[in-house]
């Protein structure tokens, strides 16, 4: 969950506000997954799974290096670029370059976090992304430090909390909470990074038994009991009850937003969170009836987020996850593949941040259709990585062509970072992270001048720095790794 330019108070309000919502089918009214044949008019739960290992890199062992294929760079030159980006974002200048910081140690070892510098917080999104980067590049110290910080501060251990077992999506850098709710994209990346760590380094003891930790999270995502409690809630049993402050936490973004509001004669803050006690019910992170990841596990908040759909990961969970859930994740991979073309703009290929499970439009609090926003940058990358790893769905090529063609037509060096789904710009900012994620689309797109232009734009881009370096930087490094072939399925070592 990014929402990176919004004050934290407003983020929480958005998570809790449903807006004008369409009726969502109850689980009891949804046909079982064994029905239907997955044709164009079939409901999402009725798709037919694609069998086998597909035609992608998982089957062939060949991970494409588009910087070599399209631009002629040597493997050594490409690897050096990836390593330099890692070093800058993880170990560069603390004021302008790095997002990773180490903060001492506890009984489990070193502690480290990835921070959204502009919002001055730590997010499960960034922590799990950092772990994925570290395991892919063989950086065990950083991986373990991030996992230790996540377990120590972010995982809810208060058994009275309805979020019990989940990871709070946003924390202060001192480990105190900014929210008690969870965002499923963080859990998804934790699971996949931990599985890869088990395969790369083997399992250790305690929290470093990576496979056991991954299985525990993955089981909880689907099977965790529905729990209800009254706010305020706690992350850990000894914590003070969490309440939202009257004004957003100090950060570069909140200070800039306050100055802009005052200059425009608008009230600040724009929204005051209601800390009155309320009942909160939290259930699984997946909707079993629709085989989809939820936007949040709070039952009163409906729908899904297309950028949370990771069919490339689900295929692996169908092979490596808890046995009783493997058929579910195999089905979920195909449901996500069928969901992508239904939820995106028919002319632009742009996806909304949120939608209903049937891919119908979800309205924002101000009554407008949910737009292509910051979370949405990742969706093209998700289906393109799936295509690269598995090669099971040719529609992903058409979708990548559509997104890249639209953005190229807007000006590859100038396109906006937010749009309506039909292509009306909603910002005047050109964001490095969005360019980088769109470049991953070249793994699925038809080869040619448009897809090559995105590969070149990624290669020519400097490592993001300054206040907005967190989300831009994480997506930049992820994208470098994907496009260079250095982001791979890490399989268990054969004995």
375 DSSP assignment: G
CB atoms closer than 10 angstroms to residue 260: 11
Angle between helices 326-343 and 311-320 (to 10 degrees): 170
Active site residue 375: yes
| C-alpha span between 366 and 428 (Å, rounded) | 21
User: Cis (ω within 30 of 0) for the bond into 232?
Assistant: yes
Q: Which residue has the tokens 């077992």?
A: 165
359: left (phi over 0), alpha (psi -120 to 50) or beta: left
With contact defined as beta carbons under 8 Å apart, do 137 and 125 qualify?
no
Of 115, 105, 104, the residue nearest 249 (C-alpha) = 115
The CA–CA distances, whole Å, from 263 to 62, 66, 251, 276 equal: 55, 47, 18, 31
Of 475, 376, 359, the residue nearest 419 (C-alpha) = 376
- Strand-pair partners of 463: none
Handedness of CA 254, 166, 433, 368 (dihedral sign): negative
Where does residue 29 rank: exposed (0-12), middle (13-18), buried (19+ CB within 10 A)? Answer: exposed
- Of 121, 125, 334, 401, which residue is the catalytic one? 125
Of 139, 156, 138, 135, the residue nearest 102 (C-alpha) = 139
With contact defined as beta carbons under 8 Å apart, do 436 and 479 qualify?
yes
303: left (phi over 0), alpha (psi -120 to 50) or beta: left
Q: Which residue has the tokens 């990624």?
A: 458
Contacts of 479 (CB under 8 A, 6+ apart): 381, 436, 437, 439, 440, 458
- Of 163, 375, 393, 417, which residue is the catalytic one? 375
Q: In b/e form, how buried is each residue of 425-439, taking b as 16+ CB within 10 angstroms?
A: eeeeeebbbbbbbbb
With contact defined as beta carbons under 8 Å apart, do 310 and 478 qualify?
no
Active site residue 366: no
Catalytic center residues: 125, 375
């Amino acid at each position: 969950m990014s929402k990176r330019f919004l004050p934290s108070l407003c983020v929480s309000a958005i998570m809790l506000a449903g807006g004008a919502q369409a009726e969502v089918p109850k689980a009891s009214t949804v046909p079982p997954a064994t029905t239907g044949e997955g044709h164009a008019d079939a409901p999402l739960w009725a798709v037919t799974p694609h069998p086998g290992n597909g035609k992608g890199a998982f089957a062939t062992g060949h991970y494409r290096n588009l910087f070599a294929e399209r631009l002629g760079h040597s493997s050594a030159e490409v690897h050096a670029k990836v390593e330099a980006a890692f070093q800058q974002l993880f170990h560069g200048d603390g004021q302008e370059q790095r997002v990773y910081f180490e903060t001492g140690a506890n009984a489990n070892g070193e502690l480290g976090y990835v921070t959204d510098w502009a919002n001055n917080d730590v997010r499960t999104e960034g922590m799990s992304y950092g772990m994925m980067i570290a395991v892919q590049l063989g950086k065990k110290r950083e991986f373990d430090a991030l996992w230790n910080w996540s377990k120590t501060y972010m995982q809810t251990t208060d058994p009275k909390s309805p979020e019990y077992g989940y990871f709070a999506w946003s924390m202060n850098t001192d480990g105190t909470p900014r929210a008690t709710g969870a965002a499923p994209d963080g859990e998804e990346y934790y699971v996949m990074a931990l599985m890869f760590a088990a395969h790369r380094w083997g399992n250790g003891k305690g929290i470093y038994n990576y496979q056991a930790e991954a299985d525990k999270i993955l089981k909880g995502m689907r099977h965790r009991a529905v729990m209800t409690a009254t706010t305020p809630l706690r992350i850990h049993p000894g914590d003070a009850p969490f309440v939202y402050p009257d004004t957003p936490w100090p950060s570069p973004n909140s200070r800039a937003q306050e100055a802009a509001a005052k200059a425009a004669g608008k009230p600040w803050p724009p929204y005051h969170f209601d800390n009155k006690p309320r009942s909160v019910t939290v259930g699984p992170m997946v909707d079993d009836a629709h085989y989809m990841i939820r936007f949040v596990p709070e039952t009163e908040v409906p729908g899904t987020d297309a950028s949370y759909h990771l069919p490339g990961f689900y295929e692996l969970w169908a092979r490596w996850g808890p046995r009783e859930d493997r058929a579910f994740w195999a089905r979920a991979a195909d449901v996500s593949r069928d969901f992508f073309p239904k939820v995106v703009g028919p002319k632009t290929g742009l996806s909304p941040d949120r939608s209903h499970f049937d891919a119908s439009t979800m309205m924002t609090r101000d009554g407008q259709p949910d737009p292509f926003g910051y979370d949405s940058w990742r969706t093209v990358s998700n289906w393109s990585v799936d295509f690269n790893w598995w090669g099971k769905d040719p529609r992903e090529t058409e979708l990548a062509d559509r997104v890249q063609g639209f953005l190229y037509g807007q000006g590859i060096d100038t396109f906006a970072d937010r749009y309506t789904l039909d292509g009306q710009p909603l910002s005047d900012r050109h964001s490095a992270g969005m360019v980088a994620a769109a470049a991953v689309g070249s793994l699925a797109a038809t080869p040619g001048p448009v897809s090559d232009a995105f590969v070149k734009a990624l290669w020519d881009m400097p490592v993001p720095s300054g206040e907005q370096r967190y989300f831009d930087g994480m997506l930049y490094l992820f994208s470098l790794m994907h496009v260079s072939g250095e982001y791979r399925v890490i399989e268990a070592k054969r004995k």
